[in-house]
Amino acid sequence: MNDIRKIERDVNMANTKISARSVDVFYGETHAIRNVSVDIADRTVTAFIGPSGCGKSTFLRCLNRMNDTIETCRVTGDIELDGRDINARSVDAVQLRAQVGMVFQKPNPFPKSIYDNVAYGPKIHGMARNKAELDEIVEKALRRGAIWDEVKDRLHAPGTGLSGGQQQRLCIARAVATEPEVLLMDEPCSALDPIATAQVEELIDELRQDYAVVIVTHSMQQAARVSQKTAFFHLGDLVEYDDTDRIFTNPRDQRTESYITGRIG
Ligand SMILES: Nc1ncnc2c1ncn2[C@@H]1O[C@H](COP(=O)(O)OP(=O)(O)OP(=O)(O)O)[C@@H](O)[C@H]1O
Ligand SMILES: [Mg+2]
């Protein structure tokens, strides 16, 4: 038994993609994240859950330095991606965000064609030598976003003309086009109907083959369906982090229990 536990632990450690240690986040005087340490596993979906205002989005944004764009925001502590400090001076935030892509709550396609939405990142990062290569990258990303069949005959129509669920899958395609290693999703399905939600959830499960995916969700059912690891946040603290099954069937902390049974939040 002990041996099995030890092997599991070693495998998990070898599997770490992002390692956060003693992370604190302040917005001016507001202390939004308190001393959070967590390892995010590769090729795994990790769900962040917790009541509104507990710091899920704030902590998610630490992972690709999106908080840099908020003037009052100050982040302390260490965050490593594959063992490299993402806040080091030598790390370019734009480059980092290509590696650690992000999908937002509200689908936000650029006011450009479907094609150009996806081609934008690869162009900036010089990923294609010519038009044929770029076409290939765009097609691959749209296939990865499970939307190719729906848009292949109208690649030059505006991305904003798609339905909400299609726009969200376009945004996922745009995020994967730069070949990220980690995909951060902040309530990616909250603006979608149940059918589009199911499509995006299926896609998330598929993306797990290649990426570390972190998803913020208010839906306990969604966390249980798509994730293998779950982190429960409460008032800026990471209260509990464990296998999703364990969090939902046998949580260790009273606050987790209260939240998943609907008593707080
Ligand atoms: N740009 C900001 N400026 C100032 N305070 C902020 C900012 N963004 C978040 N906060 C504060 O930080 C705390 C955590 O907010 P955050 O948005 O991370 O919570 P959340 O868990 O994502 O909530 P929700 O589920 O409602 O999206 C809250 O007290 C919030 O008011
Ligand atoms: Mg949020």
Dump pLDDT digits (tens) for 67-79.
Answer: 999 999 999 999 9
Place of tokens 């041996």: 3
Find the mean pLDDT for residues 89-112: 94
What DSSP character marks residue 114? H
How many domains does the chain fold into? 2
Gap from CA of 56 to ligand 1 centroid (Å): 8
Hey, whose CA ends up nearest to atom 16 of ligand 1?
55
Q: Which residues surround ligand 2, an ion (CB under 5 A)?
A: 57
- C-alpha to C-alpha distance for 17 and 254, rounded to whole angstroms: 29
Gap from CA of 50 to ligand 1 centroid (Å): 12
Whether the CB-CB separation of 219 and 15 falls below 8 Å is answered with no
Using a 6 Å cutoff on CB, does residue 27 contact ligand 1? Answer: yes
Helix (H) or strand (E) holding 122: helix 114-124
Gap from CA of 52 to ligand 2 centroid (Å): 7
Closest ligand to the CA of 52: 1
Please say if the pLDDT value at position 6 is more than 60: no
- C-alpha to C-alpha distance for 199 and 193, rounded to whole angstroms: 10
Last residue of a domain, one of 178, 205, 225: 178
**Does any domain span residue 102?**
no
CATH number at residue 73: 3.40.50.300
**Does any domain span residue 105?**
no
- C-alpha to C-alpha distance for 134 and 13, rounded to whole angstroms: 37
**Does any domain span residue 50?**
yes
**Does any domain span residue 89?**
no
Closest ligand to the CA of 50: 1
Using a 6 Å cutoff on CB, does residue 74 contact ligand 1? Answer: no
Question: Is there a single domain that holds both residue 191 and residue 257?
Answer: yes
Question: Is there a single domain that holds both residue 173 and residue 193?
Answer: no
Cα 118–Cα 202–Cα 252 angle in degrees, nearest 5 = 115
Question: Is there a single domain that holds both residue 173 and residue 186?
Answer: no
Question: Is there a single domain that holds both residue 77 and residue 132?
Answer: no
Of the pLDDT bands very low, low, confident and very high (cuts 50, 70, 90), residue 265 is: low
Q: Which range of residues forms the domain containing residue 173?
A: 110-178
Using a 6 Å cutoff on CB, does residue 7 contact ligand 1? Answer: no
Find the mean pLDDT for residues 222-231: 97
Last residue of a domain, one of 178, 194, 213: 178
**Contacts with 31 (C-beta within 8 Å, 6 or more apart), sequence order:** 24, 25, 236
Find the mean pLDDT for residues 221-237: 97
State pTM to two decimals: 0.91
Percentage of the residues of the chain whose pLDDT score is greater than 90: 89
**Does any domain span residue 143?**
yes
Question: Is there a single domain that holds both residue 22 and residue 54?
Answer: yes
